[in-house]
Amino acid sequence: MNPLFEPSFSADEYAGRVAKTRTRMKERGLDMLLVAEPSNINYLTGYDCWTMVQPQALLVPYSGDVVFFAREVDLPGVTLTTHLRSEQVFGYPEDYVEKADRHPFDWIAGVMRERGLMSGTLAIERDSNFYTIRSHEALMAGLPNVNAVDSQRLVNWVRAVKSDSEIDKMRIAGRIVERVMGKTFDMIEPGVRQCDVAAQIYANSIMGLENAGGTYPSAPPLMPTGPGTAVPHLTWSDAPFKSGESTSLEFAGCYHRYNVPLARAIFLGAPPPRLLEMADIVNDGMDVALAAIRPGARCEDVEAAWRVLITRYGLSKATRIGYSIGVGYPVTSWLEKTMSLRPGDTTVLEPNMTFHVLLGMWMDGWGYALSESVVVTERGAECLSNVPRGLRVKR
């Protein structure tokens, strides 16, 4: 085994995660759980190859070995990046790849039948990007006695409270994005091409720290500029930055697949009063939101604290002000898709939960964004990066 490709965590840590998953399976009366989200597979096994473009899945039976199904040619990558033993890994033949008349899940159903995994209640990820309608139809055709139910993002919820080792990884990702933001501020000037700044955001975040190199984040840098700042999820063009315009910057440091995002804004020239005023309000909003984060508070309480404040200024915001973060792959960005800081989310905060608190104000033709990634501690919210808040102005 090559030490370059050791899994990110010990075999014990992964076994603990599978055990927590099984505890929830037991509560829900699930006999089997089929995990297709790459982030969930990585969380449970460490698997880290760019193979989600083809069907793959981890099967967690309530008892017995977990088993992993992937395209045959990709099996060496499973052995290299996980603690799974070769008898837990099954590769479907090339003959099943992108064919109209058969599907990898036909083959997977066959292996499950051979192993006696062919009855009982099976939870599937019903709203996942990585388990398609065709996957499901093929699996169900091959396992007629299985009762399929929605997993309700079971593994995502297991991921919500991080271990201390995970928090260590996120602290490193937080240091990475903090440095990248500083270098990005330095680089943005009138006449500099947007793509050249995007290039350095990637380079700096993947170089990472001297003793901890980074990897590809789960989303490209979002960096709308000028009127584009009204759009939350715009990337960049090869046009230059212009004097008299602001740019919203939102990107993540990524270390061992743990994403820690950060948003700031920069203005080239003399900012208009409405933007300075918005920056001040949002700054205060961040203070009250972070102050509301503590064990025992509910997700919606955090949003309510923010809302009280901005309402006083005649502002409103339809979108949530944050969400749970952790392990991620494109295209789910850095979302865990569990907890949101928004009205109606009554999840109670616990230590070692992690959130991206994102205060994005997308107005008519302009906008402003500020965020912090935080870990919930006994003492409240602790920011994972340290970058001054407020609008950065370059005159």
Ranges within 90-119 binding a second copy (CB under 8 A) = 93-94, 97-98, 100, 103
User: With the C-alpha atoms ordered 32, 36, 42, 47, is the resulting torsion angle positive or negative?
Assistant: positive
Site for a second copy, residues 294 to 333, rule: CB under 8 A: 318-320, 329-333
Among 57, 170, 222, 268, the residue binding a second copy under the rule CB under 8 A is 222
Going from the C-alpha of 212 to that of each of 14, 242, 262, 328, 374, the distances in angstroms are 21, 35, 19, 18, 20
Q: How many residues line the site for a second copy (CB under 8 A)?
A: 87
The angle, 0 to 180 degrees and rounded to 10, between the axes of the packed helices 299-312 and 273-292 is 150
Name which of 43 and 366 has its Cβ closer to a second copy.
366
* 58-66, 109-117, 133-141, 287-295 -> range binding a second copy (CB under 8 A): 133-141
Among 34, 35, 52, 262, contact with a second copy (rule: CB under 8 A):
52
Residue closer to a second copy, measured from CB, 240 or 390: 240
Among 31, 65, 74, 284, contact with a second copy (rule: CB under 8 A): 74
Which of 277, 278, 306 shows the shortest CA–CA distance to 290? 306
Contacting residue, 19, 141, 207, 291, with a second copy by CB under 8 A? 207
Helix 38-45 vs helix 11-28: crossing angle, to nearest 10: 120
Task: Report 53-72 residues binding a second copy (CB under 8 A).
Answer: 53, 72
Helix axes of 133-142 and 104-114: crossing angle, nearest 10 degrees: 30
- Residue 52 one-letter amino acid: M
Distance in Å, CB of 166 to a second copy, minimum = 18
DSSP category for residue 240: B
Q: Which of 34, 48, 58, 188 binds a second copy (CB under 8 A)?
A: 48
The helix-helix angle for 164-187 and 194-207 (nearest 10°) equals 150
User: Should residue 262 be labelled a site residue for a second copy when binding is judged by CB under 8 A?
Assistant: no
The CB-of-380 to a second copy minimum distance in angstroms stands at 26
Our finding on whether 142 is near a second copy (CB under 8 A) is no
Given the complex with a second copy, which of 202 and 313 has the nearer CB atom?
202
If binding is defined by CB under 8 A, does position 88 make contact with a second copy? no
At position 101, the amino acid (one-letter code) is D
List the interface residues with a second copy, window 344-383 (CB under 8 A): 362
User: Residues 168-197: x/- map of binding to a second copy (CB under 8 A)?
Assistant: -------------------------xxxx-
Q: How far is the CB of 388 from a second copy (least distance, A)?
A: 25
Strands 354-362 and 367-377: antiparallel
Q: What is the DSSP string of 290-359?
A: HHH--TT-BHHHHHHHHHHHHHHTT----S-SEEE--B--TTSTT--SS-BSSTT--PBP-TTBEEEEEE
Shortest Å distance, C-beta 98 to a second copy? 6
Q: Which stretch binds a second copy (CB under 8 A): 51-59, 291-299, 349-357, 377-385?
A: 51-59
Give 54 or 377: the residue with its C-beta nearer to a second copy: 54
Outline where the chain has alpha helix (H).
Answer: 11-28, 38-45, 75-81, 104-114, 133-142, 154-158, 164-187, 194-207, 273-292, 299-312
Interface with a second copy (CB under 8 A), residue from 112, 278, 335, 353 = 335
Measured from the CB atom, is 207 or 270 closer to a second copy? Answer: 207
CA 334 to chain centroid, in Å, comes to 2
Identify the DSSP state of 244.
T
CA separation for the pair 4, 28 (Å, rounded): 39
| Candidate segments 131-139, 183-191, 264-272, 376-384, binder of a second copy by CB under 8 A | 131-139
Question: Which range touches a second copy (CB under 8 A), out of 134-142, 163-171, 286-294, 372-380?
Answer: 134-142
